[in-house]
Amino acid sequence: MIGKVKIGKSFGGICRYVFGEDKQAEVLATEGVRGTSAEGMAADFNAQRELNPNLGRAVMHVALAWQPGEELSNDRVAELARAYLKAMKVNADNTQWALVRHKDQAHPHAHLVVNRVDNDGATVSDQHNYRKSMEACRKLEKQYGLVSAQEVGQDNRRAQREELPARAAAKLYVQDALSRHLPHATSTEELTAALERDGIGVQAKYQKGTLQAVVFAHEGHHLKGSELSRAYSGNNLAETIAAQRDQVQQQRVELSTAGQQYGQHRVALDLEAFGREYAAQKQQAEKEQQQAQERTAPQQSPKPPRPTVERSGGYGIGD
């Protein structure tokens, strides 16, 4: 599953696009907007937008796609969209959104349009959308048993690299590694260590403790960060890492706490199970010991009954 997020300004433009006659469009679900026409939907989005007129880029547009061959019903796609919004920290019950499925291309996909002005006039955050969307898709793939887009993409990219000239293949390899490791890095040192594990060298230039320029090396090819992408220049890498540091560290704390709680719970369950098993084994051992003692004990003949003496009356003294 893939979720490509774009933040824009025009509800009219995106609504006209998703309702395009050549798209074989089908409205699957809406919240707070009409799904009968592009004009009506855009008008509803814009009416709520007035609650926060200073937010210029109020449109969140997500293109959701899954692998060819995965036959998902409309209800299933709508369920996935709601789950995706939840994973993206968007309250699907407190802002407007619409889900429109397109059938004009070979790969199955749908478009999710979300108002970044919620029902209370507050702004729906768009921070770290790329990373959050990627994590949400990986989570939903496992939850709903979907084909992993990441694995398919890696296979396709690997095949693509084999057809490219050596330098272009090295460039693609480094780009893929950066896209995997950068969203989880809290320092340039962490990013460097992760890249080196993938066979990529890093030559960094610092000025007053801040990363200014970076060159990546792979299989004899040296590539400037800006050559790979503007996002991978020294300055932009430093800004990205600084911006996501607190959130990544918080996620690690939450994962560590969850892991500890799970471990403690498992230990408690294991101890409880061990106690039950030990008690049952002890009881069985005692029973078997008692049975063995009964089998080996000497058979004792029953004692004859004691004779009874009947006393008759006699003469008393002095009679």
Mean pLDDT of 127-147: 86
Greatest mean pLDDT range, 28-37, 132-141, 164-173? 28-37
pLDDT of residue 317: 43
Q: What percentage of the chain reaches a pLDDT higher than 90?
A: 42
Backbone conformation region of residue 24, classed left if phi is above 0, alpha if psi is from -120 to 50, else beta: left
pLDDT of residue 222: 94
CA proximity to 64, closest of 20, 99, 116: 99
pLDDT of residue 79: 94
Confidence of residue 319 (pLDDT cuts 50, 70, 90): very low
List, in sequence order, every residue forming a beta bridge with 109; answer none if it has no partner: 65, 102
First to last CA, the chain: 124
Confidence of residue 315 (pLDDT cuts 50, 70, 90): very low
- Contact predicate 86/132, CB 8 Å: no
| 262-285 pLDDT per residue, tens | 666 666 666 666 677 777 777 887
- The DSSP bridge pattern shows strands 210-218 and 201-207 to be antiparallel
Query: How far is residue 53's CA from residue 49's CA, in Å, rounded to a whole number?
Result: 6
Q: Does residue 190 register a pLDDT over 60?
A: yes
pLDDT of residue 176: 85
Q: Where are the domains of the chain?
A: 2-126, 164-274
CATH of domain 2-126: 3.30.930.30
pLDDT of residue 39: 96
State the DSSP string of 115-169: ESB-TTSPBPP-TTHHHHHHHHHHHHHHHHT---HHHHHHHHHHHHHHHS-HHHH
- Which range (175-179, 193-197, 290-294) has the least confidence? 290-294
